[in-house]
């Protein structure tokens, strides 16, 4: 099963709505979050996989819609594939990542 993708404009619309039942995951590094981040995202850096992977079942619900963000959409795509391999049923990659979000959805979000 492949993951789906959403555009940054779709993400902006979703963030303005009630997100009950939606999980937001940012797989960038902590130092990247210092540069730019969106509110409400759980940070699970891919480089720290060993630290959080054993707790995945308590951190995230595989039955909930899960939106995954990174800088350009590559690492988040890897995370989407990983989550699906772990039984997650509704996973979406945010196409273009926070870079595209800053360019096309919200110019107040810092670019780096």
4-105 architecture in CATH?
3-Layer(aba) Sandwich (3.40)
CA distances 67 to 16, 63, 76, Å, are 14, 13, 9
Residue of 70, 80, 98, 105 marked catalytic: 70
The pLDDT tens digits of the residues spanning 72-92 come to 999 999 999 999 999 999 999
**C-alpha angle 45/18/90, rounded to 5°?**
50
| Annotated catalytic residue 80 | no
Task: Please report, for the chain, the start and end positions of each structural domain, with discontinuous segments joined by +.
Answer: 4-105
The pLDDT tens digits of the residues spanning 48-64 come to 999 999 999 899 999 99
Q: Which of 52, 41, 98, 39 is nearest to 72 (CA)?
A: 98
User: Six-digit token pair at 65?
Assistant: 């819609």
- The residues pairing with 23 across neighbouring beta strands, listed in sequence order, are 66
């Amino acid at each position: 099963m492949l993951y789906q993708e959403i555009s940054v404009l779709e993400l902006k619309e979703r963030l303005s709505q009630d997100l009950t039942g939606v999980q937001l995951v940012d797989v960038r590094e902590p130092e990247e979050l210092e540069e730019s981040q969106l509110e409400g995202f759980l940070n699970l850096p891919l480089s720290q996989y060993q630290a959080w992977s054993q707790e995945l079942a308590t951190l995230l619900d595989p039955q909930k819609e899960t939106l995954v963000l990174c800088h350009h959409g590559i690492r988040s795509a890897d995370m989407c594939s990983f989550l699906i391999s772990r039984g997650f049923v509704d996973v979406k990659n945010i196409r273009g990542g926070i870079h595209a979000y800053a360019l096309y959805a919200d110019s107040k979000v810092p670019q780096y």
